[in-house]
Chain A
């Protein structure tokens, strides 16, 4: 399986267009035919993305400056930045920002850490490795809607989670009403989210681990390096690119938190689980305020863009 795998050239993950290996002499762009067939091959995907992502996004962003409504006989009018003024004055928006930050700040390190631990546990060949890989990946293949329903049921006051806690503590702990307490609702959603998605990032880590040459470990062992040192000086540096990928994907996933909240808490109790996307969907659908929802989306987009830029800056290769 790994026969086709070649040492990964030193390229930046976040850098979209990796430079050709420097050893290779730069050719001038080849004749027209290459240009034409190249664009021909890019075209189908590019056209689809243009039509189904860029266009609706621009359309949506445009709506943010109007008073468009989902249901209304009134003509759409340009209202400037009214929607944004309203948004920034809305405490629920700031609360949703806070919630999402809370979610991201916990989920990003915990989920990536657990995923790395899982990847390390199944990186070696041993009897039953495929079994464990499958089990660890199982939550990922289960739909978030199904997962949320299932956990909704398990988080009840008399549900499975509390029964397990009680059994594990010999009756000492009687768990809270997880999703109905502003203090525990977000942690409950965090736990379920990590449970569902850790397997996915485990795979990404595993990919990174497998790309580290075994010879490096052998050399380290010859030098008498402890297992911690092997991890610290061989594994960890070998995962530089993987770290960036995991960081970026988990962050984007965390900021876009929606499904779980929509199924389990509808943003409650007391706005303790509401998120930016949830507010956008609630405004856009339930409250029919299309333009306001578009304004939220636009702010979200800018926010993610900023965070991605910062992350890219922080994880840039310092060479």
Chain B
């Protein structure tokens, strides 16, 4: 047994030596302080998503090689699911990099916490899609190079077979038409559930995807007048109507209480006939379905169709020692050709018309043009308050509970109570 012990020891020591040699760079450089240095770090959320990461890296490379570069930018990619956790732990210990990627609705929270510094860019962002510019208390804290838009995807042939008209931006489906369409599609008998709303989604998907329905009914996540209470808004009559409607879709067998993990794939595999998803899925769907694919706006449930505005954006941290360079890079990244390159790689909507003009699919008459229109016409920002991350978790839980069979009023009351208590305990999130 002594021999065994020695063997374990020897193996371990060999491995330790291996790490030791790797550990020449023992301390990661990602968070190395950038004291007046010529290298600044930038964090992004797209590790594992090769196309998007590559697009970002390309811009960084071209900036680093450009003559006017004020610093060398170093990219550090994180997996999206845990990105926020990584940032928050880093922030809690003062280790944020210079430039961070932020999911738009979180910007007010981070700005309030003083993680972010107001942007002073050379680039003019006044003509950018409004949902790509994150403002809080009159200052701009983040800019996005793109936005995404929610839409309904279907196969024209299926709609025709069911006798359902194709919804358009001019004439979206009403609530009744939607009900009718689902009934007819279900009657085709092609799918167990004709509609896939991505109900297996978690985290930010829940408020992103489903709060626009709530808003279309006339409810909201919070009373936007002062952002002090959700009472009467998130649990008012309109909100209850929304909850009952949403729950009804599952009860009537139109959609699964919990869809598959990959809704797009399920749609392409003909496991669903109508897919509610983001513009990012369109290119893949079109490649698979071809000309038969139709992209339609979301449903008008009373106050017109709504979709969530703001996607991932870029901000500069308040601890950045070379914020001039960081701002300079951001301005650079907003050049039309860069916006176009990212949009192309990620299948997203470029932030400006100039950039869109460079992409045939987003130019007038292009296949993805509709997403720009959806974004311009329907985008509603998620409430611009530092309370948003908390509201999002409460709302997400309410959605899941309602789908699982909770009484809508009870579930929403519970959320409202928690949200109001949170706002109060934070002194109203006032500075």
Contacts and interface: CB of A to CB of B under 8 A. Distances in A.
Q: Do chains A and B touch in the complex (CB under 8 A)?
A: yes
Interface in A234-288: 266, 268-271, 282, 285-288
A73 interface: yes
Most chain B CB atoms below 10 A, which of A1, A67, A266, A286: A286
A310 interface: no
A92 B426 CA distance: 22
A71 B113 contact: yes
A86 B418 CA distance: 11
B88 A71 contact: yes
Nearest to B403: A269
Contacts of A270: 401, 404-406
A37 interface: no
Contacts of A268: 397, 400-401, 404
Nearest to B114: A73
Contact of B1 (A1, A67, A289): A1
Interface string A174-196: 00010110100000000000000
B29 interface: no
Given A71-B110, A180-B404, A270-B406, A287 B390 contact: yes
Given A70-B92, A286-B393, A266 B202 contact: yes
A36 B202 CA distance: 56
Majority DSSP secondary structure for residues of A touching B: loop
Interface string B369-404: 000000000000000000001100100010011011
Nearest to A156: B260
Contact of B404 (A4, A67, A182): A182
Interface size class of A (residues with CB under 8 A): 20 to 34
A200 B88 CA distance: 35
B426 A285 contact: no
A70 B114 CA distance: 13
Contacts of A73: 112-114, 431
A282 B202 CA distance: 13
A114 to B, nearest CB: 29
B88 A288 contact: yes
Nearest to A272: B404
B225 interface: no
Interface residues of B, number: 31
A74 interface: yes
Interface string B85-124: 1001001100000000000000001101111000000000
Contact of A71 (B1, B109, B257, B405): B109
A25 B420 CA distance: 68
Contacts of A169: none
A177 B258 contact: yes
Contacts of B109: 71
A307 to B, nearest CB: 29
A285 to B, nearest CB: 6
A69 interface: yes
B210 to A, nearest CB: 15
A232 B159 CA distance: 70
A266 B257 CA distance: 15
Contacts of B427: 74
Contacts of A271: 401
Interface in B394-431: 397, 400-401, 403-406, 421-422, 425-427, 431
Contacts of A1: 1
A71 to B, nearest CB: 4
Nearest to A270: B404
Nearest to B92: A70
B401 A269 contact: yes
B226 to A, nearest CB: 18
Contacts of A177: 257-258
A58 to B, nearest CB: 18
A285 B258 contact: no
Contact of A269 (B260, B400, B421): B400
Contacts of B260: 156
A72 interface: yes
A288 B389 contact: yes
B387 to A, nearest CB: 10
Nearest to A83: B425
B411 to A, nearest CB: 9
A129 to B, nearest CB: 19
Interface in A29-79: 67, 69-74
Interface string A109-142: 0000000000000000000000000000000000
Contacts of A180: 257-258, 404
A152 to B, nearest CB: 8
A70 B88 contact: yes
Nearest to A153: B261
A269 B404 contact: yes
Interface string B1-39: 100000000000000000000000000000000000000
A222 B407 CA distance: 67
Given A71-B109, A268-B401, A287 B393 contact: yes
Given A269-B400, A270-B405, A288-B88, A74 B426 contact: yes
Contacts of A4: 1
Nearest to B260: A156
A288 B405 CA distance: 28
A261 to B, nearest CB: 13
13 contacts: A71-B88, A71-B109, A73-B112, A74-B427, A180-B258, A180-B404, A182-B404, A268-B397, A268-B400, A269-B404, A285-B85, A287-B422, A288-B88
Given A156-B260, A270-B405, A270-B406, 18 more contacts: A1-B1, A70-B88, A70-B92, A71-B88, A71-B389, A72-B112, A72-B426, A73-B112, A86-B421, A266-B400, A269-B400, A269-B404, A282-B393, A285-B88, A287-B390, A287-B422, A288-B88, A289-B422
Interface of A: 1, 4, 67, 69-74, 86, 156, 177, 179-180, 182, 266, 268-271, 282, 285-289
Which 7 pairs show the lowest CB-CB distances between chains A and B? A269-B404, A71-B113, A180-B258, A270-B404, A286-B393, A268-B400, A73-B114
